[in-house]
Amino acid sequence: EKDYEDIDVELVEKGTVGLIYLDRPKSLNALSDALMYEVVDACQIFDKMEEVGAIVITGRGKAFAAGADIKEMKDKTFQEAQKSRIFSHWNVLTAVRKPIIAAVNGFALGGGCELAMACDIILAGEKALFGQPEVKLGTIPGIGGTQRLIREVGKSRAMEMILTGEAFMNAQEAAQKGLVSRVVPGDNDALVAEAIQVAKSIAALSRPTIAMAKEAVNAAYELGLSEGIKREHSLFCSTFALEDQKEGMSAFVEKRDAQFKHR
C-alpha cells in the first residue's frame, strides 16, 4: 500500500480489482501533473500485480474530473509546454495491459473526458456530463480529445462539442451514441459497485487471454480492416498456446467451471 496525495487506492474483491479514486474534490478533481503521475504510477503497479485482473478509475465528489488543472497550466509558455512534452506522462496509460474501467459520476470535462476515453470501458452514472470546453479557455483538447471523441460520437457531434466548448453530452446521450457502454441507475456508490462487478468478472478470466483480447480490439484504432483482421488472427492463434485455452475448452466439454491457471 502506497501513500498518495491526490488519489486514493484500494484493492477490492480479494485483491483482484485495483480501485483508484481521483481525490481532489475541492477542485472537482482537476488533473494536476502530480495527480496524473500518481494515477499512472498506480496503474503501472496494478498492471504488474499478478492478482489484479482489472482496474477501476472514478472520482470523489460531484466530478469525475473537470479537466486538466487550469491554475497550474495557465502561465506556461509555448516553449515550456513543448520542451516538457506537456501531459506526455498520460500516454503511459495506453501501455497498460489490464483493462481499465472509468466510472464517470459527474463532470468529465476537457482532460477528464479525455482520461475517460483513454480507458477501455466507460460506465456512466445518471449525472455524468461529458464535454470538451477547452476553446473557451483559448486552447484545444490536448490529450486525445480531438482524435478519440470523433471516433465515438461522429464528426458532427464531436465538432459541435469541441468548437462551441458547450453542448455537453449527458449520460443518456452518451449511452445512445456509444461513448459509454451504459448508464448505471442510482448514486455514485451504485455506479462504483457496478464498475467493480464488471472488473471482477474480467478478473475471473485468464490474464493472458484478456490482454490479447484488449490488444486485438485496440488494434482497430490503429490499423485498417485487413491489417486489423490479420492482427486478430495471429492473436487468436496465439491463445492456442495457452494452458488456459485448453482448460477453458475442456471445462466446457466436461460441463464444469473452468479453473484458469493464469489469473
Q: Which of the ranges 49-57, 94-102, 135-143, 210-218 carries the binding residues for ligand HXC, by CB under 6 A?
A: 135-143
Find how far residue 159's CA is from the centre of its chain: 22
Q: Is 144 a catalytic residue?
A: no
109 binds ligand HXC (CB under 6 A): yes
137 binds ligand HXC (CB under 6 A): yes
For residue 125, the surrounding DSSP H or E stretch is strand 121-125
68 binds ligand HXC (CB under 6 A): yes
C-alpha to C-alpha distance for 126 and 105, rounded to whole angstroms: 7
141 binds ligand HXC (CB under 6 A): yes
Say which of 30, 63, 65, 68 is annotated catalytic.
68
59 binds ligand HXC (CB under 6 A): no
Distances (CA, A) of 92 to 43, 75, 207: 9, 25, 20
Residues in the chain, how many?
263
27 binds ligand HXC (CB under 6 A): yes
Residue 58 CA neighbour count, 13 Å, CB half: 26
Nearest C-alpha neighbor of 25 from the set 42, 8, 2: 8
Nearer residue to ligand HXC within complex by CB, 140 or 193? 140
Cell readout for 127 is 449525472
199 binds ligand HXC (CB under 6 A): no
Nearer residue to ligand HXC within complex by CB, 153 or 196? 153
Report the DSSP pairing between strands 54-59 and 182-184. unpaired
Contact footprint for ligand HXC (CB under 6 A): 27-28, 30, 66-71, 87, 107, 109-111, 133-134, 137, 141-143
Q: Which residues are catalytic?
A: 68, 111, 114, 134
